[in-house]
Structure 1
């Protein structure tokens, strides 16, 4: 048994020596001249191919996993960057729009101060109630706001205060006035800018189909004509005198002897952000 074991060890050592020798011959020469060299080259190449393909495949898998992980991390950073950029851009645009509105408001109040003695209290619109055409502003009784104060935007008259709490007020827009409001002495007495002594009428309701204010009680010989600017007359002490309302786009005969005119409002009643409550110092 001991002799048999030594023979096996000797054979294994001889085989290993031969293998190393053949490897040396294989890699030490540029050509393969004898058939043992060619056979050994083919055998080694075939064996290396069996080992290389799985190893290469596994290495490729790990390389793809690492590449995907890197791409995922880069995409996450890019998404966060784009999110911050979009948020900052939106905030910047909003600030720019607000700055433009406030600049326009400042110019508006300065012009108005030079024309009359009214005070203009700027307020932010909190909510808009589509059903009854009212807005809620963030000024109330604590700020000196009272019912029936006129409210306008930079463009023109918006409506009047109808309800007041400590810190908020509801404003009835012109788009919500109707004959019932007129019967409660809340119709707007108006005249033509530049023709204050030659023209007079009343705005009693808003026509939702035409999207126009309807001016009534116009005398047949009134100087009002298409293109004129309509302003508040001041009679009734609800709406101060001289606030621009809109432009005459149509004039026609009414059911009675008086005429009727359709007025296109200057003010936009959608997407209101800041408005002005008009204080008349003489009435305080």
Structure 2
């Protein structure tokens, strides 16, 4: 179901508050509609697309129809839904970005050592975006796929990535995107999220236990470049019934730290 957050269309066609003379307002609206599908987490009606993007219904309808004609969306008579063609938009980044490519051998090494899928995520203004993943051989492997965007406040990767923010920047992010409840365990108090981020900064890792999905635990560590800046987070997701928090710290953490550190040396 769609939430109440609104995509700021103006940010897509304004540069530092000044509209670019060569800007394309229609393209900006279309991109905002595409981003709205991530917030809806499924399909959208014209009314929902308009509400999430802050544009008019006629404009939202035109965007949805154009994206459908181009093959990026499908339409069942009521709702619009993304097609696999949308993956092409992220493929250009994933095929040329240096970090995801360099990360592959380290993700694989961690996966082999842990016999669990290992992922790499980067920061995107309040979201944790997964840009690479080494899949385990398990039939049922918990975690997220490449291209997924998860709320930073409720994820281990997000809290690790937020350790690079100043206190003012962190407060601003949580003000723009307040923590939302996903399970009974989700931390929704912004001050508690701030404390969790501070703890992750001090400890050098973050563990989230059932906050995003019941029965799922996640461990993440920072990937730091040569200047000591956090540029990504390496993580592993496990079923709580199979892996204890103590085991995450004792067995999984050293493996992630070793490979995240090695990856950081390439930057």
Q: State TM-score, norm by structure 1.
A: 0.24
Greater share of strand residues, 1 or 2? 1
Mark the structure with the bigger radius of gyration: 1
TM-score (normalised: structure 2): 0.26
Higher helix share: 2
